[in-house]
Amino acid sequence: MIAEKTTTAQLIIDKISSSAGKVDFIDNDKLSKALLYLENKGIPTNKHEDYKYCNLDGIFKKEFKNIDQKLNAVSDINKFKLNNSVTIVIVNGNYSETLSDKLILKGLHLNAFSNLDKEGKQLVGSIANIESDAFIALNTAFSGNGFHLKIQENEQFQIPIHILYVSSSNSEAIVNPRNIIELGKNAEATIIEEQVVIGEGKVFTNFLSEKFVGENAKLTSYTFQNEGKNGYSVNTNQVTIARYGKYDNTTITLSGSLVRNNHNVVLAAQNCEAHLNGLFSAKSNQLVDNHTLMDHQMPNCESNELYKGIVNDKSVGVFNGKIYVRKDAQKTNAYQSSKNILLSDDATINTKPQLEIYADDVKCSHGTSTGKIDEAAVFYLNARGIGRESAKKLLLHAFAQEVINKIEVDELKEKVLHLFENEL
């Protein structure tokens, strides 16, 4: 790996430090470590293996020359609300008590980072390694006032928790939302994390979430990304699963000029299970880059990944799926599949499975396919009186359905279906 020294990181630090809030929920050791890492390693260019197709240094240089951090207040989020869910609202990276629902649900604890007790503070940065990635370091140094959401032991929530990240600027800004989601033993919850950018200016969102799935707990999570052309984001999810725990995530990306997802899951104990599903639909000059890591550390765990992408115009889609099976992780089952459709000759898909297996009794497989829309099927539909556009829609809908059907929250599923069809 090449450690390239660049001034982009320094420029960002200079531009955002003056207006950044006090990050007193992260200890000084970590803060200085983060700044040091940024200064030494900088923002990755495409020479960095993990950012080969996603030159963030270039993006900052080109699209964020005039960061002024003039962020807009947000007072109305009603149109984003889902009917049957609890809403937590984060504005420009900071937890908004006024816009969020009052949580008086038994067994559910929500604390803004500014109110964290000692125990809570210890969790911040406990699994996201500052020295593993520049964006973890950047978020650590300038984290917004995020929140710690805890589902107590044995509590099983039926109502989805909708976490809405709204950002707004009229010029150029960087926001650093951050959270901790913790499920105690035997707890169950469904969370929907949705990102939107409103306002006239470009916002770079550097999101970081640390998720702890306790013993025999089940976290079903949805990531819904529809930021529009002003949205640029790097989203890091660092997940750790305890014995018999289960983590499911479905990430739907429908818009955003740049969307980079780093989804890192550590199967840290025996008999746990993780599923990552993704669907993206990109057009114009969009770049959607999904990087996943399934780190099998212990025996008898199972992981499954299904990512599907549709790229049109000059857009670029990336899927890089790394599976580690460590030497103790015998009887691992790990599967991965990436399927893509190219709708134009100028669109690109880069897909790379990366399997590193150090145990000898495992079942691992991966598959990838990239192709154009099936012209034989289009002709068959045409021959029945269905026009080319409708035929294409039917086929793309069919392609996407396998992932959309993973969404178990009906309201979200309908919303996604509707928006997906509009985007085609």
Partner 1 sequence: MITIKNLHASIGDKEILKGINLEIKAGEVHAIMGPNGSGKSTLSSVLAGREDYEVTQGEVIFNGKDLLELSPEDRAREGLFLAFQYPVEIPGVSNINFLKTAVNEIRAYKGQEEMPAKDFLALVKEKQKLVELDGKLANRSVNEGFSGGEKKRNEIFQMAMLNPKLAILDETDSGLDIDALRIVATGVNALKNKENAFVVITHYQRLLDYIVPDFVHILYKGKIVKSGGKELALELEAKGYDEIKKEFETESV
Give the nearer residue to partner 1 in terms of CB position, either 360 or 389. 389
d(CA 317, CA 190): 28
Q: Would you give the DSSP letter of residue 101? A: P
Query: Could you say whether residue 369 binds partner 1 (CB under 8 A)?
Result: no
User: Residues in contact with partner 1, total (CB under 8 A)?
Assistant: 21
d(CA 150, CA 160): 14
Q: How far is the CB of 311 from partner 1 (least distance, A)?
A: 19
Q: How far is the CB of 418 from partner 1 (least distance, A)?
A: 16
Q: How far is the CB of 381 from partner 1 (least distance, A)?
A: 7
Query: Could you say whether residue 383 binds partner 1 (CB under 8 A)?
Result: yes
Stretch that binds partner 1, among 29-37, 137-145, 226-234, 397-405 (CB under 8 A): 397-405
Q: How far is the CB of 96 from partner 1 (least distance, A)?
A: 40
Residue 419, phi then psi, degrees to nearest 5: -70, -35
What amino acid is encoded at 184 in this protein? G
Q: How far is the CB of 391 from partner 1 (least distance, A)?
A: 8
d(CA 63, CA 150): 37
**Residues 40 and 337: beta-carbon distance below 8 Å:** no
Alpha helices in 300-349 (DSSP H): none
- Of 52, 366, 397, 413, the one binding partner 1 by CB under 8 A: 397
**Residues 174 and 69: beta-carbon distance below 8 Å:** yes
CA-closest candidate to residue 253, choices 412, 370, 420: 420
Query: Could you say whether residue 371 binds partner 1 (CB under 8 A)?
Result: no
- Of 36, 127, 394, 417, the one binding partner 1 by CB under 8 A: 394
Q: How far is the CB of 137 from partner 1 (least distance, A)?
A: 42
d(CA 42, CA 57): 8
- Of 401, 413, 423, 424, the one binding partner 1 by CB under 8 A: 401
Give the nearer residue to partner 1 in terms of CB position, either 153 or 402. 402
Give the nearer residue to partner 1 in terms of CB position, either 106 or 384. 384
Stretch that binds partner 1, among 176-184, 191-199, 325-333, 378-386 (CB under 8 A): 378-386
Give the nearer residue to partner 1 in terms of CB position, either 40 or 405. 405
- Of 193, 399, 403, 406, the one binding partner 1 by CB under 8 A: 399
Query: Could you say whether residue 103 binds partner 1 (CB under 8 A)?
Result: no
| SS3 state of residue 16 | helix
Stretch that binds partner 1, among 142-150, 180-188, 357-365, 382-390 (CB under 8 A): 382-390
CB atoms within 10 A of CB 78: 7
Pairing type for strands 147-151 and 108-112 reads antiparallel
Structure tokens at 257: 């000029």
Q: How far is the CB of 338 from partner 1 (least distance, A)?
A: 17
Distances (CA, A) of 130 to 208, 289, 351: 11, 21, 27
Structure tokens at 52: 């080969």
Query: Could you say whether residue 3 binds partner 1 (CB under 8 A)?
Result: no
Pairing type for strands 172-175 and 108-112 reads unpaired
Q: Enumerate binding residues for partner 1 (CB under 8 A).
A: 374, 376-377, 379-388, 390, 394-395, 397-399, 401-402
